[in-house]
Structures are given as structure tokens and as C-alpha cells.
Amino acid sequence: MGTRMMFFNGTMMAESEVRISPFDHGFLYGDGIFEGIRAYNGKVFKLDEHIKRLFASAKSIMLEIPYTPSVMAQHVVETVAANHLNDAYIRLVISRGAGDLGLDPKRCDQPTVLIIADRIQLYPESLYEEGLPLASSAIRRPSGDVLNPQIKSLNYLNSILAKVEAGQRGVPEMVLMNQLGYVVEGTGDNVFIVRDGALVTPPLWAGILPGITRSTVIDLARANGYEVREENFTLHELYNADECFLTGTAAEVIAAVSCDGRPIGDGKPGNVARTMRTLFMRYAQAHGTDIYPNVSVV
């Protein structure tokens, strides 16, 4: 791709020129927020929704973003264009900024804003065809009164520890539960099961991130005649589901075919999961904010 260009604190610059202070509270304490965004076919997918979620996260942690939502969105588009990408994964990071070695965020005068546009492939193509084996994690998602999962913060240690466990268990992904024992998420994905033709996914209040891919899949499913229910379910119900699939900006839509050594359904990607992946990819390829508005992208 040549020199990777990044937006950093108001300036587009080469990756090698980006300098983040060792006193940045994002680095020292995970004090900040981020969004992972996709571009398909020359369009940034669901950009307004991602920016809205970013500002909601910022409000909750009392972090003032130094741009309006529309200007922030424009900087995202500019970063993708600066890297001449039609299909991209975009990471928008805002930390509290440089302060001192103390915790007090009031010592941080100016947030650090970084936008990266690159490519990502979370899973090999073979797993989209064959499906993911899962395992349930001993790690629990924090409850909303501890660290609200609806805030997309830089503190991802909970998910990282579950990923470490995934490596130890020999599976690519884990499912996590909340303190009540209900399935809530993967390490970076929302979870759906299929039961008697209906899609079931945990409700937001159970302690999950309000996934943008998740909400898109819910809308597409309902528009195509599927019943969708947002309700709690346990590992027992996941084991005995007809199908299971995960959704996320990086993962898109991917079937899960087993959990803890138990086959889900017939142990192969099911018709609903395949259909939802097809519908989602078709929709994502056709909708979004133009990166190159005066250029026809084939």
C-alpha cells in the first residue's frame, strides 16, 4: 500500500511521523474511546451511526471531542482517501491525551485524536465457509455498574484475557457470559442463535455493546420476514440452538458450528447464517458515505 497515512491531532501525516506522548492517559490507563469502522466499495459503512456511538461513549466518560460530529466524520473519509483505499478497516481512537502520572483526567489538556485506515481479516476465508468452533470463557463481562459495556472504551483487557483463554483452548473465539450466567458476547462480536426459525440475541440491558452490525442484521432479518427477539439465553440454549452466528464490524457475519465440543445444529453453517451473511454483505457493498464522490468505483 506504500506509505500509510494517518490523521493525527488535526494533521494528515505518515505513520512514521506519528508521536504519542508516553504520558498519554490512553497509553497509561486505557482512558479513551474508539470505533472500528468499515469501508466497502468506496463507501464508509454506517459512518453516522459510528460517529454517534463515539460521541455517546465520550459523553459518558466526560471526554470532550475537539471536533463536531460532521467534522469528525469528514476526517474519517479524508483518511481513507489519503490511503487510496476502496475497502478498508478504519480505527478511530480518541484518548484523554497527555497528562501526568496521576489518574486525574483534569491534568490532560487536550485529547489525542488518531484515525488509521488499513485492511483487516479477522478470520481466514475457510472459517466463513466451515464455521467457527467456540468455547465458553471463564472470564465474565463486567456489569454496567462496574464498566459499562455500552461504552466502547480503550480498556479491552476483559476481552484480551478471553482471547488468551481461546488460544489455550485451541479455538478462534470465545463466548462470554455476564454475572447472571447469560451469554452476552464474543470477545469483540455480538451473538445470535437461531431457534425454530427465529433469531434470538441478548438485549442491550444484559450488558452488551450496541453493535452496529448487530442492528443492521436485525433490520435486514425483519425486512426479510424473520422473527427477531432480544432476550437472554444460557449456554444450554446455545448448545441446543439450531444455529449460531456472530456479528461485528471486523467479523461481519460468521457462523459458529460448535461450542465447548458440542455441535450446534448439524455442526455446519446453517441456512439462516448463510442468508444473513449474504444479505449483510450485499447491503454493505451498496450503502455508505462516498469516499470519492466524483469517481465511479467498480
Write the DSSP symbol of residue 282: H
Confirm whether 152 is a catalytic residue: yes
Provide the angle, in degrees to the nearest 10, between the axes of the packed helices 47-60 and 69-82.
120
Residue in the block written with cell 463466548:
175
Q: How far apart are the C-alpha atoms of 186 and 207, rounded to whole Å?
A: 12
Which among 43, 46, 152, 163 is annotated as catalytic?
Answer: 152
Helix (H, G, I), strand (E, B) or coil at 42: coil
Q: Residue 180's CB: how many other CB atoms inside 10 A?
A: 12
DSSP conformation letters of 207-272: T----HHHHHHHHHHHHTT--EEE----HHHHHT-SEEEEEETTTEEEEEEEETTEESTTSS--HH
d(CA 177, CA 234): 8
Which residues are catalytically annotated? 152
